[in-house]
């Protein structure tokens, strides 16, 4: 854009300079001395490419926009010495070849006028409409004079916010960057590297997310040549040495055509050579390249059902490589991409990778959102609610990005978070407890799902159920998982610093960091350090109310299972004339029976005090021990002893030996403990004990 423009007569806008008369230029476009049929050949190439996709398109706006752009950029030159008008023309031609509609092309011709000339945004809106004006404003850079070092990140923030309301803004920006990258060799090497890095970190991931593969692959190759010149030259030489490698793929293509023709399936079979970065990736993946690794076969059909018919025929006539099969038709990628991927082996053992898709799928695979035309045309005249436009991307990564950027007023934090978010090049879809779909980057955890679903309310998250099973917050989610986030009732609870180790999305990291900054005492506390078992004051001794039919026998309740009425129990005589009473399901019963120990019948006497050991399984959080102690006291139980094991995977185990005034109160006590936020299970102890 303007980085390559030079204007000997005016390097900056000066107040008082006469404005361009757009109405006069508009009349010239329609009725001027040369006439509409004698416009320069430069715009003629754009018109031809546009008409190939949109035969009935109205060309009047394009003619007007070209004349305005040519007049306003007259006298400006690129670093290469070419007239500056060649740049907006090249950008527009790129979009026209992808199938962009007239409004996008009109804005593309004008995309630098507001930034680099005396044309104002209001003039553009007046002559070409609010929609074109919005697109032009969306790609217009912010002035360094006003923003200093923050100009670049804030420009991208502005552009992304505009893209959130109209993805065509980013389409123009991507085409603009592609043409600048094509002509970047006139820049100083250090500036080339800086622009290439931003392209790699921001623009290429955005092209991937918008599905514009045609732009993405060329941008990747151009960046590869600048940032990794040695690897690029080696890859280029490797491709040149294997220029005849298409022979093997051509043989496959002929066999495919014959097989499909015999099956009565109408299809086109094409050879698609891999681009430089793709070949380089295959080199890194395999120690030695096969002759068929330099390209793939593309099969185009008319209907979705034909895709599966082609797949079945290929897998019948050739040996399929099952591990290479992927169905992106039934489960499209998050960037609209649909295709069947497979690989088959011929009789000689050669393997060919195959892409199967319809003509429409191919158009979308190459041009992404550009192929949608105007994705915001109302269906059946129904306008979106509240004036908001539906996100044409799937499943809404752009909306997620727009949400977290609002929480990052600092330009450096935004720039860092944006690059980190875009580095996640794969996406998964998970479902909340209410069935709502959540789009998350691959590798996201329950922490990310909590903040994606509840925002700042996720500070009170204490755990989650993934596909119905309890899971820690660090659990990595898979595509299609159902996540039920568990929130504490205590609104004062908050995240721990360890959550940052599990957060993958900027939204989660920013929210957690903000809360920890506001609560420095939590960040400073060594909450994650292993805690030693904490003994609590002992209570009264147990008084057994179990009765055995042995004169003068002393009855003891086993500590391994702590039986209480009305448990089914059994006793075993031990040294000293005592009888130890166990619950019948206690592991010690089976062990002593196996040793030949004779059991003694036991019955419960009058109700009275009893002692029981309970285990509480919980997620770690502040004040958990205090809340459990309060719940126990509220049920009238006395704590004889308690231990808290060191936390493992954010889970904490509490073991309590309790004195109850009446065994009938045990169920209510266990319910009260389970109701404590963070506690997901309370059970009776049942651990092996030494043989009495």
CA–CA gap between residue 401 and residue 670 (Å, rounded): 44
**Residues 6+ away with beta carbon under 8 Å from 463:** 446, 470, 471, 472, 473, 486, 619, 650, 678, 680
Q: Which two tokens stand for residue 599?
A: 């059991």
Q: SS in 3 state form for 163-175?
A: HHHCCHHHHHHHH
Instruction: Reply yes or no on whether the pLDDT at 685 is more than 50.
Output: yes
pLDDT in tens, 619-631: 877 777 778 888 8
Instruction: Reply yes or no on whether the pLDDT at 36 is more than 50.
Output: no
Q: Average pLDDT in the 641-665 region?
A: 79
Compute CA distances 109 → 129, 136, 372, whole Å.
Answer: 14, 9, 20
Which residue is it, tokens 């391994």? 560
CA–CA gap between residue 306 and residue 302 (Å, rounded): 7
The pLDDT value given to residue 341? 95
The pLDDT value given to residue 681? 83
For every residue of 665-685, DSSP letters joined together read GHHHHHHHHHTSTTEEEEEE-
Q: Residue 483 forms beta bridges with which residues? A: 432, 466
- The highest-confidence range among 130-139, 288-297, 488-497, by mean pLDDT, is 130-139
Instruction: Reply yes or no on whether the pLDDT at 298 is more than 90.
Output: yes
Q: Lowest mean pLDDT: which of 116-130, 354-368, 373-387?
A: 373-387
pLDDT in tens, 562-620: 787 778 888 888 776 778 888 888 888 888 888 888 888 888 776 567 778 888 888 87
CA–CA gap between residue 229 and residue 237 (Å, rounded): 12
Higher confidence at residue 320 or residue 434?
320
Q: What percent of the chain has pLDDT over 70?
A: 82
Choose among 387, 383, 330, 382: nearest CA to 361: 330
Higher confidence at residue 98 or residue 433?
98
pLDDT in tens, 440-490: 888 889 999 998 888 888 888 877 888 887 777 888 998 888 998 888 766
Choose among 623, 615, 624: nearest CA to 681: 615
Assign 296 to helix, strand or coil: strand
pLDDT band at residue 688, thresholds of 50, 70 and 90? very low
Mean pLDDT (the chain, rounded): 80
Q: Average pLDDT in the 332-341 region?
A: 85
Q: Average pLDDT in the 657-686 region?
A: 82
The pLDDT value given to residue 544? 52
Angle at 456 between CA 450 and CA 462, to 5 degrees: 45
The pLDDT value given to residue 634? 83
CA–CA gap between residue 667 and residue 269 (Å, rounded): 71
Q: What are the strands of the beta sheet with 569-574, ordered from one edge? A: 554-557, 578-583, 569-574
pLDDT band at residue 153, thresholds of 50, 70 and 90? confident
Burial 379-406 (b: 16+ CB within 10 A, else e): eeeeeeeeeeeebbbbbbbbebbbebbe
The pLDDT value given to residue 142? 79
Choose among 495, 399, 494: nearest CA to 440: 399
Instruction: Reply yes or no on whether the pLDDT at 11 is more than 50.
Output: no
Compute CA distances 145 → 5, 118, 152, 319, 634, whole Å.
Answer: 17, 17, 12, 64, 66
Higher confidence at residue 424 or residue 525?
424
Q: Average pLDDT in the 189-213 region?
A: 91
Assign 400 to helix, strand or coil: helix
pLDDT in tens, 503-548: 888 888 888 888 888 877 665 544 434 334 434 333 333 445 777 7
Choose among 510, 529, 540: nearest CA to 652: 529
Q: pTM value?
A: 0.66
Q: Which two tokens stand for residue 139?
A: 């790609």
pLDDT band at residue 25, thresholds of 50, 70 and 90? very low
CA–CA gap between residue 614 and residue 673 (Å, rounded): 10
The pLDDT value given to residue 256? 94
Q: Annotated catalytic sites, by residue?
A: 115-116
CA–CA gap between residue 233 and residue 286 (Å, rounded): 19
Compute CA distances 203 → 170, 277, 288, whole Å.
Answer: 9, 16, 32
For every residue of 102-114, DSSP letters joined together read HHHHHHHHTTTHH
Q: What is the CA radius of gyration of the chain?
A: 35
Assign 99 to helix, strand or coil: coil
Choose among 329, 351, 94, 133: nearest CA to 212: 94
């Amino acid at each position: 854009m303007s980085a390559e423009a030079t204007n000997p007569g005016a390097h900056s806008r000066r107040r008082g300079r006469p404005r361009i008369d757009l109405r006069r230029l508009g009349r010239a476009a329609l009725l001027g001395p040369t006439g509409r049929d004698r416009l320069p050949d430069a715009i003629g190439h754009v018109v031809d490419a546009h008409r190939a996709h949109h035969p009935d398109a109205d060309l009047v706006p394009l003619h007007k926009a070209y004349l305005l752009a040519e007049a306003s950029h007259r006298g400006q030159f690129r670093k290469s010495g070419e007239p500056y008008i060649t740049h907006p023309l090249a950008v527009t031609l790129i979009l026209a070849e992808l199938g962009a509609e007239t409004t996008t092309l009109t804005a593309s011709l004008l995309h630098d006028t507001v930034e680099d000339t005396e044309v104002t945004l209001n003039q553009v809106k007046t002559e070409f409409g609010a929609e074109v004006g919005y697109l032009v404003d969306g790609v217009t850079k912010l002035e360094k004079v006003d923003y200093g070092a923050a100009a670049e990140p804030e420009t991208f923030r502005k552009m992304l916010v505009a893209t959130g309301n109209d993805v065509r803004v980013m389409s123009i920006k991507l085409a603009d960057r592609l043409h600048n990258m094509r002509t970047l060799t006139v820049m100083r090497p250090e500036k080339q590297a800086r622009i290439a890095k931003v392209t790699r970190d921001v623009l290429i991931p955005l092209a991937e997310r918008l599905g514009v593969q045609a732009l993405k692959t060329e941008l990747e190759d151009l960046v590869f040549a600048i940032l990794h010149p040695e690897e690029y030259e080696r890859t280029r030489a490797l491709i040149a040495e294997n220029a005849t490698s298409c022979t093997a793929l051509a043989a496959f293509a002929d066999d495919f055509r014959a097989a499909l023709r015999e099956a009565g399936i109408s299809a086109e079979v094409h050879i698609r050579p891999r681009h430089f970065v793709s070949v380089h990736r295959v080199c890194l993946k395999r120690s030695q390249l096969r002759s068929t690794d330099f390209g793939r076969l593309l099969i185009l059909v008319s209907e979705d059902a034909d895709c599966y018919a082609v797949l079945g025929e290929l897998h019948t006539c050739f040996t399929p490589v099952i591990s290479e099969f992927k169905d992106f038709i039934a489960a499209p990628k998050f960037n609209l991409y649909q295709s069947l991927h497979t690989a088959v082996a011929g009789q000689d053992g050669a393997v060919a990778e195959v892409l199967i898709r319809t003509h429409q799928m191919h158009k979308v695979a190459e041009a992404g959102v550009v192929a949608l035309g105007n994705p915001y045309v109302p269906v059946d005249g129904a306008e979106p609610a509240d004036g908001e436009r539906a996100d044409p991307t799937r499943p809404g990564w752009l909306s997620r990005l727009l949400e977290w950027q609002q929480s990052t007023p600092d330009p450096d934090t935004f720039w860092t978070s944006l690059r980190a978010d875009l580095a996640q090049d794969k996406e998964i879809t998970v479902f909340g407890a209410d069935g709502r779909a959540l789009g998350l980057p691959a590798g996201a955890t329950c922490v990310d799902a909590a903040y994606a679903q509840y925002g700042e309310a996720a500070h009170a998250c204490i755990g989650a159920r993934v596909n119905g099973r309890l899971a820690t917050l660090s659990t990595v989610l898979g595509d299609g998982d159902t996540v039920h986030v568990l929130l504490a009732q205590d609104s004062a609870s908050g995240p721990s610093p360890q959550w940052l180790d599990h957060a993958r999305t900027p939204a989660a990291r920013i929210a957690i960091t903000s809360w920890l900054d506001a609560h420095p005492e939590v960040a400073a506390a060594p909450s994650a350090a292993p805690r030693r078992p904490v003994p609590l004051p002992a209570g009264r001794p147990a008084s057994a109310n179990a009765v055995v039919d042995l004169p003068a026998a002393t009855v003891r309740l086993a500590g391994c299972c702590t039986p209480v009425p009305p448990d089914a129990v059994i006793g075993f005589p031990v040294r000293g004339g005592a009888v130890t009473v166990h619950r019948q399901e206690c592991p010690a019963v089976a062990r002593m029976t196996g040793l030949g120990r004779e059991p003694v019948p036991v019955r419960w006497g009058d109700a009275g005090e009893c002692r029981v050991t309970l285990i509480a399984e919980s997620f770690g959080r502040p004040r958990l021990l205090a809340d459990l102690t309060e719940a126990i006291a509220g049920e009238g139980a006395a704590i004889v002893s308690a231990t808290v094991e060191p936390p493992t995977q954010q889970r904490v185990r509490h073991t309590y030996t309790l004195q109850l005034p009446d065994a009938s109160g045990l169920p209510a006590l266990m319910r009260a403990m389970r109701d404590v936020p963070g506690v997901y299970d309370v059970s009776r102890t049942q651990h092996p004990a030494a043989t009495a």
